[in-house]
Structure 1
Amino acid sequence: MTSVPGRRSSTFTRLLRHGFTHPAAAERLLDLPEMAPVRADSVLLDALGAAADPDLALRGLVRLVEAQQPDERQVLLDTLISAKPLRDRLLGVLGASEALGDHLARHPHDWQALVMYESADLHPGVEDFERGLAEATDPVSLRVAYRRCLLSIAARDVCGTTDVAQTAAELADLATATLRAALAIARTDAPEDAAACRLAVIAMGKCGGHELNYVSDVDVIFVGEPASESVEEAAAVKAATRLASHLMRICSETTVEGAIWPVDANLRPEGRNGPLVRTLSSHLAYYQRWAKTWEFQALLKARPVAGDPELGAEYVDAVSPLVWQAAERENFVPDVQKMRRRVVDNIPAAHIDRELKLGPGGLRDVEFAVQLLQLVHGRTDPALRSGSTLEALRALAAGGYVGRADAAQLDVAYRFLRSMEHRIQLYRLRRTHLVPEGEEDLRRLGRSLGLRADPVAELDKEWRRHGSVVRRLHEKLFYRPLLDAVAQLAPGETRLSTQAARQRLEALGYADPAAALRHLEALSSGVSRKAAIQRTLLPVLLGWFADSADPDAGLLGFRQVSDALGKTPWYLRLLRDEGAAAENLARVLSAGRLAPDLLLRAPEAVALLGDPEGLRPRSRDHLEQEVLAAVGRADDAEAAVASARAVRRRELFRTAAADLIGSYGTEENPAGHDPGTLVDRVGNAVTDLNAATIAGALRAVVRERWGDELPTRFAVIGMGRFGGHELSYGSDADVLFVHEPREGGDEQGAAQAAATVVAEMRRLLQLPSSDPPLLIDADLRPEGRNGPLVRTLASYAAYYRRWSLVWESQALLRAEPMAGDEELAARFIELADPLRYPEDGLGEEEVREIRRLKARMETERLPRGADPTLHTKLGRGGLSDVEWTVQLLQMRHGWSEPGLRTTRTRTALAAARDAGLLSPEDAEILDDAWVLATRVRNGVMLVRGRAGDTFPSEAKELAAVGRYLGYGQGHVGEMVDEYRRATRRARAVVERLFYGS
């Protein structure tokens, strides 16, 4: 058939439609006389078009047809036309593998190996392949027989008769048969050596794991022993070494038929520098004394495949216990992680984006993650001891060590990436893991994987998608903090047998081992997935609980949270998989009462502990938006304020958890955060939270009583620690209420409305509920408790102009708007500024009055029997001492030093230092004492669940406060001494700066 110039023939058009990229060349090939039956048969043309590369398939078919004798050629073509199975297999192979097309051209009769499969032959094993290699008597004939067997594996693969895992297993079985055949040839060539020794060939790597590639080094280890007592060991090892070397040459050397694959023995002890063959005892001596972590990881896939089967079994039996003890080695997990990073670092920059095996998101990421999990957890769970990556992944999921969804995603991604690797290697039977760059190669690769609409674009999309999944899950599993903690447990500690658990509990310092055992039994008994995950978590959690003053409380809290969330599918998965969630929860539950109490009222808040951003304080704007939205959804004021208080409870837990975890330290920051940073973070977070809650209560009351608008403008001014952003967890909110009748409004009605708002807000925020109350304290208002709760702005101005005392001006140093009408609040601050920052500073009489008030407060308000050296608020060098000293400086110099115009103690102290009003040393002493006293108060609240201004008297509570402050077990005395020392130094500064002594 000849095309008419300028016109396309129907065959040309059809070839183009079937995916031929060079239809003109294909048409010329089909015009060859011997191809006439193909050209005339539409079924054959359709089959060629279905191949991964139709042009390649046609060229291979032409070469195969031309290589046949005339009568054989007709048999081949008739069989192709009549037998669909052969047609699919042969054209599928020819369209996917140029190398196997070359083999068929050299050995034109080998196509007959694809004519028929019996059902029993669909998944052949080692014995079947051994029969296929049986006639091979030399390296050349072995290569031909090997390729013939490989042809049948490739045919099943490209036709979808086998999946990628089955194909990899068949390739490993073929490698096993080939090693046996090569050893038989070596023995035949050297019968004296064969008679002198026992030689076992141990497959490693992918061959050992039954997951071999089409072209890969076959990793092996050789073990040799004397054949009898009459043979000396040294002579037997030499004989075995000659046999092993000959075996390697048979497989690895290139002949006219090419090479089979390199046999690589570099995983042996000492690698290339070590002897090729060792005795079993020599192997064991090396592994017990000198082996590195990676060598045990490699032994995970060890499998005897050739030679003396008894010796091979003895080797595996001897080294297996060492493999499953490897995770107990010091720094085992970090070593494996570093090794993986080194592999990535050594990839050439030009290849990293195309590296399918070693690059980020590649096959090695899956394999390393699975192997690391196997080695850590397989010590006590034999179900995990598989050399196959996919089998081990299934076992890890079944045992609860990996989430089912994660395992399923990894399985799918791994299969896709391995299929890509197989098809890339199959093309030319070359060892490569690089994704090709050429359009034609990518098109063939995409079509071979079933991507037909736009093969190149679809392939890139699927590869990137699966690579992204692997990269994400590798980071999640491979760098899981829990993994290193499990690896560090002694072997007996990873299983919670009753006796071992009791001994461990006693050793860890649990005060009631019997009760703890009951908790452990309740959490981990049974065969459910939940119990399996708990058995993985609990040994590690027990150690973290023990790193606290009250391990028993931590374990009890964990049981309570687990019981509350027992049917929640994400809970245990979170602890197992997400960052430091498990350790964070252990720290929070065992550090005192406040955080666990908050958590148990809403256990779902445990999710915050697994989110990297979960412990970061939320901004006031964000909080206020959430609170106001919750208020807007409620049916009435009580429900609205209950919703606002629920948000406050959750956010108090977030703040407390962040404080505790920051105090204990993390893997990245073992020393914990700077104490001043922690104090500021708590103060700011609780202040913003209380401000948002008050704004929500205000909105709820106004909405229920008046609808959209209150008949008077209304604002809440923060005072004291509230205004200073220095609240602790249980602090009251000191406030002033100010209002101003709207233009043309009824003043009396406005006053009544404002009073009603105040009373109702205070009532609703203190209603009995499971949420912590928010107490609003207005005692810093003019006239104190004797004055009205709320005044107009004009009333405040009149009072301060005529009656204000110096302490009231001092109190205004902390005044800051918190909720309500912003413009009204800003005008109140304008009113307050001249009072708190007087233009002429303070006169001597005013200074004496402040000093007198301070001295009187120390005398009258310090609780009877309290130790003045340990009372954090009113004691020597405590909060009051530092704050009054700073406030005196603010009132004296605030008008001339803008930096002092702040409501925050530490900020004002730093500004005074920068202005030269006190020395840097004095500023540091006062700051350290203030931070320490604040942290003690915070610690007492966290530990006891109620506020306190002095150290607890109960020993366990005192120890818990010490742990919060960074003092380990047995160092409580140092903590108290350090507090006294810091506050004594601060008091000396206060005597000079405040009292003028």
Structure 2
Amino acid sequence: MLTIDHLPDFLSDTLACYWERFSEQLSPDTQALMQRIETQPELSRQIARVWACSDYAANLCIENPEILAQLIDSDDLHQPSVSGLRESLQSALNELTAMPAETTDDAWQSLLKQVLRQFQKAQMLRLIWRDVTQQSSVRETAADVSLLAEICLDVTLELLYQRLSDKLGVPVGEYSGDAQQLVVLGMGKLGAGELNLSSDIDLIFAYPEPGETESGISCQQFFLKLGQQLIDALDAVTADGFVFRVDMRLRPYGSEGVLVCSFDAMENYYQLQGRDWERYAMIKARAVAGDLEAGQELLDRLRPFSYRRYLDFSAIESLRSMKLQINKQVRRKGMHEDIKLGAGGIREVEFIVQALQMVHGGRDKQLQQVSLYKAMDMIVEGEYLPEDTIQQLRNAYNFLRDLEHKLQAFANKQTQSLPDNAEEQKRVAVAMAFPDVKGASWDMLMDVLEQHREIVRGHFKEVIHLEDEDDDAARHDVDVTALASFWQGEKEAEAGEEKLAQLGFENPAGSVEVLLEFKSSRLYKTLPNESRQRFARFMPLMLATLAQEKTPSLGLSRVMILVNAVARRTAYLVLLSENPNAMKQFVQLCTASPFVAEFLSQHPVLLDELLTSVQQPPGKQALEEELAQGILRIPEDSVEEQMEFLRYFKQCHTLQVAAAQITGSMTVMKVSDYLTFTAEAILEQVLALCWQELTRKHGFPVNGDGQHGAMDFVVIAYGKLGGIELSYLSDLDVVFIHDGALDEETVVAQGQRAINSREFYTRLAQRIMSMLGTQTVSGKLYEIDMRLRPSGESGLLVTTLPAFEKYQRNEAWTWEHQALVRSRAVAGSTNMGRAFELLRAKILQETRDKDSLTKDVVKMRQRMRDELTRKAGNKAKNPAFVLKQAKGGIVDIEFMVQYIVLSGARDCPDLTEFSDNMRILEAAERCDVLSGGDIQVLMEAYLALRSTLHEFALQQIDSNTLSDDDAAAVLDPLSDTRDKVVMVWNKLFPDNTKESRAAL
């Protein structure tokens, strides 16, 4: 039996069970191992401790006793570091080089994976053993895991490179004439040399320069295949497990980007398109495998991207924004006990150090360290923070990372969450060397943890200046005691009515009725006591906040929409009760707009957004960065979680735009801009995710030039998206175009299944539509309309650019060319986007017979109006329909703009530069297509009509139920505007045809 007198009693059964299984697994040849353990008390004590603290290590020993025997015999379990680790792996892989030449790739790679995984298991057992038995410090363990990853990467890459170059030839640089090798950059904790016991490894692949092999294979193709093989060798899960999980999403363009690119392409990307979060990531970049000398050259070229030559205090704002996004994720997912992302956790220590690196590192080269520990030393040396502050942070970081190692060693899982199982908690406490005094070891561990986290939280706020989101600001001037008494039934309804009247409620009797009706409802009466207590606090505060509004009774009726929706999820009420600013914004927005009240009731998770001001949405680049960062934090294979995050992102920014419109800080043009920017960011990410999924399964499609690896696919927007004029509930009109070689199959790596390129792009389009349009618990992202593709609903889902051009030139109707006016590339290949824009301009600039064009446009306008009026019936008289479809409405203006482009672009190409109506009208004025006065009429009318329709959406005005007087009140102020539009129409389309007379 094992010696367990040094361990708590509760572990005896677990260890006895492990020992029994271990005994049963041993073969006659390894009986000596059991005898050795039983006769060496110290060895027995250590193995008992290791098994007590790690189910993974115990099972590994039981299933592979020969690994344990080898480690004991070599004495590697007691060595600070294993000398000759690289040689050991190379020796284990020697049998690969001895395999017959006719050995298939599958057999060769299968043996490679088996040897790598057996080697990794032995080293992981050694690492866990030394960590748990306290023979290795936190920093030493992290360095050893990193070294193991680097050796596995480099040795494996060397073998794969040799085998691939034997088949395809050695890649040679076009400029230097030198043999080219792959550079593997380690990012994150691998780059820092500080990996966890169960870390992913974040990598970026690059090669020095373009060129080709002697067989004519380009360097890009060669290294793409090599990179795929390297990932597969380490990441693929076999019967022996995996070596390291590989994450490539930090490469340029993320999952959408090619797997490997040249140094010049890398430098160009970071100079022109690199984002703040990528600056943060590149701080830890380090060449870890392949051509290390070339890798250092690349990093030297990229260093100015991360480190500015001046003091860069914008870095703190960027990190603050990143931290706020992480905090939202923590709250949404209930991750407060996550020792990495939670308050006072590992990430906050990293942010403190890296904020100072990014601010001062451009001037102080000593701060340009990939290692967090070394960076801490340099911060003290440069006197950027006091030595005692850094020592406190270092102590906290060591403790947090030590605990992280123990959590991950337990089951070899990448987790930073504290266990909720009592026995596992005790075992983690044992691993952390906390004594089990009266069963309180876990409580003692938690006390120490909280002390460290509190220290980190304090220093983080000082450095990053993050406002305390739970700061309890001063409450109301209103006496909430009387309101609480009324709500709790201590006063009669009349007294409540009197109190509300005193507070300025415009309809106190109606408000009291609303409150009492809710309180007497079955929903409220069946709530548990805890929920009622939360209501007892929330309702008086909410009423006191409402009293600050101009129309509190109206606000109450709208606020109660959400209160009813979340009555059984009162955590949302706690959020509002604890955060006065959030309560104030909630009440203000709901009072101002029933749309917002309904929107929040459908998506109450958005209340989290009210913890910070939502009155000014971020810029387009910030939108894209926020979404990209959020997606990066989600596992690649977690499609459902990705879809939920995308929906949350859209809903969050819809709320922000609505708030900005309500407060008057954003014009109708800007509202449409931001709604459009949000849709574009989502389309780009959805495309990237779908592309990643398909290429992982089926490899890369071949394009028209015979190349592969790039995303030769573009999303073309039409209608409101194309015209940058989205509204809150707009569909997306899109067309998909690709550059695939239709008769070629995809280029695959091992384990992938080749399919025809046409089928690949069809599946890609279908997957995009599914991801956007699938109804989840959070709703849909967007309704997708594909009817504007060539041949409409009977046409192919995705087409090539030549086929699109042929259709537009030979088969498209005039109305399809009208639609082309409001089209543009919004996601996908930049090169294909430019090609589409050039083609669009050429088609729009073609010479057209003006009389025929006039006849077609006027006839189509009349046909559209007749058809829509017939379908609308009595609803054709409501204001929304009139302002959009009737004479002098929005669609008339749109038709005039389209006619101006189609008739005038030949002589004035500027008309085709933009796809939105306002800038086209500005170009029309420059081209003297219409007089300046007429242009001004159309622009002012367009803004006024669109602004009214946006207001309808926010106020949820059902114009079908408006009285005649109310409808007149909406339409009459705009009648003069519409009359002016009609006058311009008559100038543009003289009344000389039956169709034009009918149209107006």
TM range (shorter): 0.3 to 0.5
TM-score (norm 2): 0.43
Larger Rg: 1
TM-score (norm 1): 0.44
